[in-house]
């Protein structure tokens, strides 16, 4: 009993790893917000949101020409969605998901989004805390707060292995089928200067 109380206490306040604070209260709020906004989310989708905040878009852009071709193809194949124009990733909002609906609705151009996306990839700096340490914290929060996720027991070992290798993942099939997400990741400072005032 005392052990459980100490675990919960540790998980409901910020703590420090190698000099960088992990705000567990903000993490829990971000998980709860994701499940309230996207109830079909699985552990894989939570992983993806926090992974995007940790690594930014650098894991998905190899060169600007191919990124532009892929963006234009995705825009041409995209069906009308009720997605927001933007939302933060993870718990700190260091990176923003900018939805292609903003381009489809002519609020920003594909070139403006691509430029912000590419500059965001080039601006990434490695966090002090490792991705594996953040992932273990996320799992501890979910377990301590008894947050229920479909397929949690099956997904956990697979995603923990992915975290050990700093591996990116796609959205889950449940999430893709329910929400049809189309977005690009933009660093918050670049987003605020180049895009926010246009939305």
For residue range 111-143, what is the model confidence (pLDDT) as tens digits?
A: 999 999 989 988 778 788 899 999 999 999 999
Q: Which residues pair with 16 in a beta bridge?
A: 21
Q: Global pTM?
A: 0.85
Cα distance between residue 61 and residue 68, in whole Å: 10
Q: Is 184 helix (H, G, I), strand (E, B) or coil?
A: strand
Instruction: Record the tokens describing residue 132, joined without a space.
Output: 């594996």
DSSP 34-91: HHHH-TT--HHHHHHHHHHHHHGGGGT-S-HHHHHHHHHHHHHHPPP----SEEE-TT
Q: What is the pLDDT of residues 25-77, one digit of tens each?
A: 999 999 999 999 999 999 999 999 999 999 998 755 666 778 888 888 988 88
Residue extents of the structural domains in the chain = 2-198
Q: Which residue has better confidence, 79 or 28?
A: 28
């Amino acid at each position: 009993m005392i052990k459980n109380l100490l675990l919960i206490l540790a998980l409901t306040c910020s703590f420090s790893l190698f000099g960088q604070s992990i705000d567990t209260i903000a993490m829990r709020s971000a998980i709860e917000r994701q499940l309230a906004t996207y109830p079909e989310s699985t552990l894989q989708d939570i992983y993806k949101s926090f992974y995007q905040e940790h690594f930014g878009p650098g894991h998905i852009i190899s060169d600007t020409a191919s990124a532009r071709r892929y963006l234009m193809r995705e825009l041409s194949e995209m069906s009308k969605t009720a997605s927001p124009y933007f939302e933060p990733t993870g718990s700190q909002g260091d990176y923003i998901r900018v939805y292609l609906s903003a381009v489809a609705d002519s609020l920003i151009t594909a070139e403006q989004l691509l430029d912000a996306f590419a500059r965001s990839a080039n601006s990434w700096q490695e966090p002090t805390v490792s991705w594996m340490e953040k992932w273990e914290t996320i799992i501890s929060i979910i377990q301590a707060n008894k947050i229920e996720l479909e397929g949690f027991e099956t997904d956990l070992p697979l995603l923990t292995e992915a975290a050990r290798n700093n591996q990116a993942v796609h959205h889950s099939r449940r999430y893709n089928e329910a929400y049809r997400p189309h977005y690009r990741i933009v660093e918050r400072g670049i987003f605020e200067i180049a895009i926010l005032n246009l939305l």
